[in-house]
Structure 1
Amino acid sequence: MVADAWLSKELKDQKVLCLACGHACKLEPGEYGKCGVRVNENGKLKSTVYGLAAAVHVDPVEKKPLFHFLPSSDVFSIGTVGCNFCCKFCQNWEISQHPQTHNHEVFGRELLPEKIVELAIESGSKSVAYTYNEPIVYFEYTYDTAKLAKEKGLKNIYVTSGFETRKAIDELAPYIDAMNIDIKFYDDESYQKISCARLKPVLEAIKYAHEKGIWIETTTLVIPGVNDSDEELRAIAKFQAELDPDMPWHISRFHPDYKMLDVPPTPIETLVRAYEIGKEEGLNYIYVGNYPDADRESTYCPKCGFKVIERQGYIGERVVNHLDEEGTCPKCGHHIAGVWK
């Protein structure tokens, strides 16, 4: 359904400025933003996907991935069509790129915020995740749902590429409890060529969301020949360690998809090297993803080295959490950073 996209500013001559993401699209009447789902209708910005869920699942929270946020809990996850990025390696391109490649056509099942919260509670989920495509492009839908979910005792998660404006983060901060934010590259040229975006707004969004008190974990999909050099991996780890060494970094294995079918999967040796680089730069929590590695998927106390959360098998399949509700290491009493209750 079409609804007001109120995170916007009306300009002269019926132009409108979208305030949701770093692209800051200034749209003429009838013009769509880069996301393909926010459009200027007669001088008013509209969302064409409000209440229209293209993907709905109940997932383990570890799949987001979030490893320091309510371990082993279920998450009611929704997504729409559309995206403000154009990643050539996108795994969900059928929904993320559909409006841009189908003359702004949208699809999905009607699922209004009240129904999402109702279904989340019925499923036994502890939180609602806005995921599968970029949630900032359906900001108003996520905002209304998150606000209602919070009132009903549920937590909220944004799984995002990190292009939110400060204004968007200010609006979301009272209701969003956790974010997984991609640091896709540490090179602006790669961001532009491969994802139709830029590096600086992502780094600024991570810093600002962290300042606002939102729990953040980051993910880097390590792509052979693109962002797998020691220099680039170290730059990502260094940025994050300087911001907060307790912010978890997920290093994900690349598998060929969408427009990068000619690129091979990431060698395991590269993932191990990235893991070690993260340790060298001072990060306390680093995880290898998209590959079964029980040792590098588990959480260790940075003070005494005790394995406080054991993970094995498929993501979220077998998780043994030795922490109490306060996140305390049972061996030495050190507090493990995260959201545990």
Structure 2
Amino acid sequence: MPLNYGEVAAWHLDPIEKKPLFHFYPGSWIFSVAGYGCNLSCTFCQNHEISQSCQQGTRVTPARLAELAQTKDSLGLCFTYSEPSTWFEMANDKTEEIRELSQWLRKLNTPLAWHLSRYFPAYKLDLPPTEKESLLKLWKLAQEEVEYVYLGNVSGGDSTYCPHCGKEVIIRENARILNLVQDGHCPECDYKFFGVGL
């Protein structure tokens, strides 16, 4: 059992897109929880105040977390902010690496949404931020192999387009979501989308 079991460093009601989950109930909210500490020590961590700190958090039981997650606006419960394992590509901005990774993802033959996040200096790493133009090139490169590729930490690149006809079907602008998907299908060509709650 971990030393910080049952201790919460932060909790918040977040838009589902902040996780980032773009193909799971777009426009919904989820109760997000984090504990102190992390098994990694990334020099560019955006949540280093939580992930690199070892202190006592607010005690909470699993039953209480479940109760908090059942607020009228929350879709469920998400453990986040200090969990790095879903961000395996986080500092990956080399063209050849993105090409190889996108080809590998395509060969999985499994529908997925891939988020490329822009790096910003944080915590102990003071390198320049990822250039927006470079990220846009990598985004276009990844889209050659993967149907749903999104950009994070940058304006634009977060709308969902139909892979078949190209129609913009989920428009994300700041915190507003316009979902044009009809029963999981494109309103233009009837293409069936990957995702839950679309």
- TM-score normalised to the size of structure 2? 0.94
User: How many angstroms apart in 1 are the aligned matches of 2:14 and 2:109?
Assistant: 28
Residue 331 of structure 1 corresponds to: 188
Q: Structure 1: which amino acid aligns with 2:133?
A: E
User: How many angstroms apart in 1 are the aligned matches of 2:109 and 2:15?
Assistant: 25
Q: 1:318 aligns with which of 166, 176, 194?
A: 176
Query: What's the offset of the Cα at 1:287?
Result: 0.8
User: How many angstroms apart in 2 are the aligned matches of 1:74 and 1:80?
Assistant: 20
Structure 2 residue 115 is matched with structure 1 residue 260: no
CA deviations on 1:281-309 (whole Å, 9 max, x unpaired) are: x210111111111xx21101111111110
User: How many angstroms apart in 2 are the aligned matches of 1:85 and 1:120?
Assistant: 27
CA deviations on 1:205-246 (whole Å, 9 max, x unpaired) are: xxxxxxxxxxxxxxxx35xxxx32211111221221211463
CA deviations on 1:177-215 (whole Å, 9 max, x unpaired) are: xxxx2123xxxxxxxxxxxxxxxxxxxxxxxxxxxxxxx
Q: 2:29 aligns with which of 49, 74, 84?
A: 74
1:252–1:289 Cα contact (<8 Å) kept? yes
CA distance change for structure 1 residues 229 and 122 in 2, over 3 Å: closer, same or farther?
closer
CA deviations on 1:54-107 (whole Å, 9 max, x unpaired) are: 0110000000001000111110000101111111111111221223xxxxxx31
Determine which structure has more spread, i.e. the larger CA radius of gyration.
1
List runs of 5+ in structure 2 lacking aligned partners.
none
| Structure with higher RCO (Cα < 8 A, 6+ apart) | 2
Structure 2 residue 183 is matched with structure 1 residue 183: no
Aligned residues: 198
User: How many angstroms apart in 2 are the aligned matches of 1:112 and 1:124?
Assistant: 21
Q: Pick the structure with more helix per residue.
A: 1
Runs ≥4 in structure 1, deviation > 3 angstroms?
none
List runs of 5+ in structure 1 lacking aligned partners.
6-46, 100-105, 135-160, 163-180, 185-220
CA deviations on 1:90-142 (whole Å, 9 max, x unpaired) are: 1111221223xxxxxx31111211111111212520111000112xxxxxxxx
1:245–1:284 Cα contact (<8 Å) kept? no
**Structure 1 vs Structure 2: percent identity of aligned residues?**
41
Aligned-pair Cα RMSD in Å: 1.5
User: How many angstroms apart in 2 are the aligned matches of 1:58 and 1:50?
Assistant: 21
Residue 109 of structure 1 corresponds to: 58
Residue 136 of structure 2 corresponds to: 272
